[in-house]
Structure 1
């Protein structure tokens, strides 16, 4: 478990993290979302003791990271896939970490196999592609078989097979009862991976909720209606109080009425429907709506 209590960080006059309080619990994948510059990486660095809070605090399993006697056995993290000595082989990079945390060297072969790097274990890490470096970083995070795992943009550089692999890995780790915190800018991937979301903007917590609740919250839910009588049926729906947008000659997007009400009106008017599909907003749409005022580097649309 990771607990943040009033966590605050200033860099000179810049407030990077502003009083964040939340709990990352075991048994689920928690997606950590926010626009660029929101404070996600700074928060993760404070969890790991790499940056000191200006105020507030953070604990892992009830203790500060710096107080953990053998940290890699309790917390595994991937923050920067390229933070590896380029002259070391993958095996020797992991060996150095294992020896510093009293981890049996047999575990090295286990994690190399788990991430699919056993064939390149003796290759120098400086010659790895970004995707291979990500896999090595994940191997390092798993080395101590920790109960708490943090991943910052873990799918960067991975091919589709690798993305599917890391998605399933994170879900499997959570299913084992571990605490899994993962940040990503890929909303489509988070929609498939996360169970719970923590969202920050300009350093402040703006959401701490389940994935489904987040996507429902404030949603302008709509219904896709397809009919050859789209023009006249659209007028009928507007008269009934709906908002109607005509997308194609035979397609309407309707909000303000649910599918049952639309179907009832169609039956009353004898309008044959080809399609009647309720549609909610996507995670990307919900995220963009919630964080619109928190974007630091935006463009006019």
Structure 2
């Protein structure tokens, strides 16, 4: 079921078109990763979804309604766009309690979301003394207060340590497993590869890809094959002569492209070359992302 429906969304700031005729949907029951280089228009798009910015053209609906038409948004949409948007003198409990009361939610929800986000032990501490990672957890707790069916997170693992990142990943997956629609913007490709079911990739405000993670990595190629041979130099020459691309890997290994593991094995057998390893390497999400967005990067460095 489509929970977020973006259609022809366009946003300009002066002469600059930040979001350009963008359309995509976010489905219930899965984590949708929202990716793009810096300046691609991700944050602006998220702001338009929750009514913090007005589109110049196009529309966004959540569960069939515009955000402004939802009577009590916190009951239907939880959004974390800025973890710093917390009054520093308030305790974690007081911050969440104020949100609960103002939205007509029972006090018990405060304790429940503090427990789910691991903040019970610091509930009485002021948010101004929190680390960035703790503020992220507090922001996530606030999104969960109304038990919404749609959750939107902008860089939710920013500032989290490795344990916190794993916790956030497991939380996103569990929220989707409960039938919620989860939209997550992130720069961490390795994390999105483990968290997201589906990916929306944009560049310069335009849609670049809308596909499952597996589809994106498959479409970007068959990857490489890691090879370890008794005489790597000689075998590299034979691979090159057979049309494969070969480069040196770590600890004397060969990284072979353009030839399947089976063909490499047959070539080795034909020439009597002993192989100690023959391992296909999948195209990483990072490689697929870089290939998709190479023409959309705002600032490009030049290798020395």
TM-score bin (small chain): over 0.9
2:109 to 107, 110, 129: 107
- Residue pair 1:75, 1:147 contacting (<8 A) in 2 also: yes
5+ residue gaps, structure 2:
none
Matches within 5 A, 1:1-301: 1-219=3-221, 221-247=223-249, 250-301=252-303
SS at match of 1:189: helix
Equivalent-residue separation in structure 1 for 2:211 and 2:224 (angstroms): 23
Q: For the aligned residues, what is the CA RMSD?
A: 1.2
Shift of 1:249: 7.2
- On the 8 A contact 1:230/1:249 being kept in 2, the answer is no
Task: Output one character per residue of 1:225-283: Cα deviation in whole Å (capped at 9) or x when no partner.
Answer: 11122122222222222222233674222122101111111112111101101112211
- Cα deviation, 1:92-141, whole Å, max 9, x if unaligned, reads 21112112221111100110111111122122211211111111000000
- Tell me if the contact between 2:268 and 2:274 (Cα under 8 Å) persists in the aligned partners: yes
The answer on whether the counterparts of 1:149 and 1:181 sit within 8 Å (CA) in structure 2 is: yes
CA apart distance, 1:44: 0.4
Q: What's the CA shift string for 1:152-209, capped at 9, x where partnerless?
A: 1111111111111110000000011100000111111111111110001111110000
Whole-Å Cα distance in 1 between the matches of residues 241 and 131 of structure 2?
A: 59
Q: TM-score, normalised by structure 2?
A: 0.96
- For 1:239 and 1:184, the matched residues in 2 are separated by 42
After TM superposition, the structure 1 stretch with the greater mean CA deviation from structure 2, 56-65 or 10-19, is 10-19
Aligned residues of 1:37 and 1:202 also touching (Cα < 8 A): yes
Question: 1:13: how far off?
Answer: 1.3
Normalization by structure 1: what TM-score? Answer: 0.97
Question: Any idea what SS the aligned residue of 2:249 has?
Answer: strand
CA displacement, residues 56-94 of structure 1 (integer Å, 9 cap, x when unaligned):
010000000010011101000111001011122111211
Contact 1:76 1:142 in 2 (8 A): yes
Aligned equivalents of 2:251 and 2:141: distance in 1? 53
Q: Secondary structure at the residue paired with 2:58?
A: strand
Aligned equivalents of 1:268 and 1:111: distance in 2?
A: 63
Is the CA contact 1:191–1:283 (under 8 Å) kept in the aligned structure 2? yes
CA distance in 1, matches of 2:241, 2:134: 59
